[in-house]
Structure 1
Amino acid sequence: MQGVTRKITQAILYEVIAVACVAPALALAFDEGMAHSTVLSVIMSGMALGWNMLYNYLFEFWEARQARRSRTFVRRLLHAIGFEGGLVLILLPVVAWWLDISLWAALGTNLALFVFFFVYAFVFQWGFDRVFGVPESAHERGVQACTSAK
């Protein structure tokens, strides 16, 4: 799977699983109802989805221009750090406002989410690549992608 279909599938699957994990955790941590926490999770997910699409476009644009294009451990680590670090900053004011907490408390919340999502992003992307194959940007130059006709 390549192109826009890959990007949309990857982003939607990532966010659906994320909402299912984050909503109950927020409800428990902030003594909020599931409805309140789920709405926040969906808002954060929507913002993360937009960031995901932009970040992956930019990452793959950069990756396609590298001399070595394979997805190494270090490259996957950099991908996860960049994505989650950017998301922490983007979501900071939203979390503070929605939960009616200070920016410092929201930063603590976002950093806790960062720890979870750092591992989740790394594992999810590795699993997604195993199931759907790596994108063209990660194929070594001169090597064609293996596709099977079914």
Structure 2
Amino acid sequence: MRTTLDRIRHTLMFEIVGLLIVIPLGHLLFSLDTTHMGMVGIISAVVATIWNYVYNLGVDHALKRLRGHVHKTVIMRMVHAICFELGLICVLLPLIALYLGQTLVQAAPLVTSLALFYVVYAFVFNWIYDVVFPIPDSAGRAETPTTPT
């Protein structure tokens, strides 16, 4: 399993790279002032950072208990990313609507677009992260990430 320091590094890298992509892209696609898009991005990042730690810790514990290891297949990574985003949408939609002074329906396209972006981004980022920073097994050796099947 990953250490707390590794989880912190993962989370910070994930959120910083995500913000560097989302803020200018959201500004272009939704014609939101960069300041507003930045706040949406930061609100999303703070909420997602907390959710990311809790969600991934829970998934890793569940996988370790059920399967004896935390390796994920491609399908598992896809389900993992989608479930993460669905939970996050439940929290972010009302927060972003409130911040922008919009109804839930008005804020839904922005939140949905963010979620779709982050599903793909989470899948790619986490796969690359696992390759660059392999998970150490209980004997202290690095586990090789699961190859796509």
Give the alignment's TM-score, normalised by structure 2. Answer: 0.85
TM-fit CA distance, 1:17: 0.9
Of all paired residues, the percent bearing the same amino acid is 31
TM-fit CA distance, 1:14: 0.5
| Amino acid of the structure 2 residue aligned with 1:109 | L
Residues 48-95 of structure 1 deviation map (CA, whole Å, 9 limit, x = unaligned) = 101101101111111111236331112211211111111111100111
State the secondary structure of the residue aligned to 2:62.
Answer: helix
In structure 1, C-alpha distance between the alignment counterparts of 2:7 and 2:102, rounded to whole Å: 34
Residue correspondences, number: 141
Correspondence list, 1:1-150, <5 A: 2-67=2-67, 69=69, 70-134=71-135, 136=137, 144-147=139-142
State the secondary structure of the residue aligned to 1:64.
Answer: helix
Give the alignment's TM-score, normalised by structure 1. Answer: 0.84
In structure 1, C-alpha distance between the alignment counterparts of 2:131 and 2:139, rounded to whole Å: 17
TM-fit CA distance, 1:112: 1.3
RMSD: 1.9
Unpaired segments of 5 or more residues in structure 2? 143-149
Identify which range, 105-114 or 121-130, moves more after superposition.
Answer: 105-114
In structure 1, C-alpha distance between the alignment counterparts of 2:5 and 2:28, rounded to whole Å: 35
Unpaired segments of 5 or more residues in structure 1? 137-142
Residues 19-39 of structure 1 deviation map (CA, whole Å, 9 limit, x = unaligned) = 111111232233232122212
Residues 105-138 of structure 1 deviation map (CA, whole Å, 9 limit, x = unaligned) = 22222111111111100000000000000365xx
Residue 19 to residue 10, structure 1, CA distance change in 2 (3 Å): same
In structure 2, C-alpha distance between the alignment counterparts of 1:135 and 1:55, rounded to whole Å: 20
